[in-house]
Chains A and B, each alone.
Chain A
Amino acid sequence: MSERCRTNPQSRESELQGCRCHYQPNVDIYEQADELVILADLPGASPDSIEIDYEENELSLKARVDPRQEADTDFLVREYGVGDYHRRFRIGEAVDTERITASYTDGVLTVHLPKVQAAKPRRVAVHSG
């Protein structure tokens, strides 16, 4: 998934220009013994439009949201806007990029970023002689 943007910068450029408005999704980020996990609220995002890019310790999440109402809809109450999502994070931990996995259910994106083995604390057994 991360290859898509890097190998095709042209398409990203045109995609951004076509965007109406970007929203920053709410996220939870936590660290466990062997991985970092990011949960991002992306309600209404088209599943096949989600792009996860990891490059030089920076993780970028992007998703397209197709309009759900006609452009000329006259809202009686409008408390939130609808548009594409984009957010970037700087990751301090060394991540095993080959093993990054992601899933999207009920409008929530979950990204698992496994730590590289060397970064994990390892207990060294001491044998008595």
Chain B
Amino acid sequence: MVFQCLNPVRSNRIDREMNRLLSSFFGETPQRSSGRRSMAVNVWEKDDAWLVEAELPGVKPENLEISVIDDELAISVEPRGSEEEDATYYRRERRRGAVSRTIQLPTAVDAERVEATLVLGVLTVTLPKSETARRHRIQVHPGN
């Protein structure tokens, strides 16, 4: 999904160039999984959990792999759908290749209790913070 873009091809190229410049400057690759395209995510925090959301239209649960190690969430999607045969394409904007993404969360999470739902093409992963990572309010007792 994009805002109407006057010249999407060129802007993508600039992005790539920028990524390359940045990556060579900082000495790291912007995408860890080489050869696979990345997916856009939104991440937000709740008191007891991190929430990660990605828009994956046309993806079925069986084509999705999600894993968690410590504070790292990995999502990967197999290629979806193929082109119609005997068809003339006028527009081909939808993604169909494999995509993956690794997200480093600010705290460790309770891997056993991570839950994921895929509704209307929207993936939501709920990652409960591990007990030690949760903020505890410390009661201050008056002295004497």
Contact = CB atoms under 8 A, between A and B. Distances in A.
Indicate, yes or no, whether A interacts with B: yes
B1 to A, nearest CB: 5
Contacts of A32: 84, 86-87
Contacts of B93: 26-28
A113 to B, nearest CB: 12
Contacts, number: 109
A33 B86 contact: yes
Contacts of A25: 1
Nearest to B4: A24
B44 A69 contact: yes
B42 A28 contact: no
Contacts of B91: 27-29
B3 interface: yes
A26 B95 contact: yes
Contact of A23 (B1, B41, B50, B60): B1
A120 B43 CA distance: 50
B87 A106 contact: no
Contacts of B56: 43, 107
B55 A43 contact: yes
Name which of B41, B45, B94, B124 has the most chain A CB atoms within 10 A of its CB.
Answer: B94
Contacts of A37: 84, 87
A76 interface: yes
A116 interface: no
Interface string B1-26: 11110000000000000000000000
Given A24-B4, A28-B89, 15 more contacts: A24-B1, A24-B3, A26-B93, A30-B90, A41-B57, A43-B55, A43-B57, A69-B44, A80-B1, A106-B121, A107-B55, A107-B56, A107-B120, A107-B121, A108-B58
User: Shortest 5 CB-CB distances between A and B: which pairs?
Assistant: A107-B121, A43-B121, A107-B57, A79-B40, A41-B57
27 contacts: A24-B3, A26-B1, A27-B94, A28-B89, A28-B92, A28-B93, A29-B90, A29-B91, A32-B84, A37-B87, A41-B58, A43-B56, A43-B120, A43-B121, A44-B121, A68-B53, A73-B44, A74-B45, A75-B42, A75-B43, A76-B44, A77-B41, A77-B42, A79-B40, A106-B59, A106-B60, A107-B122
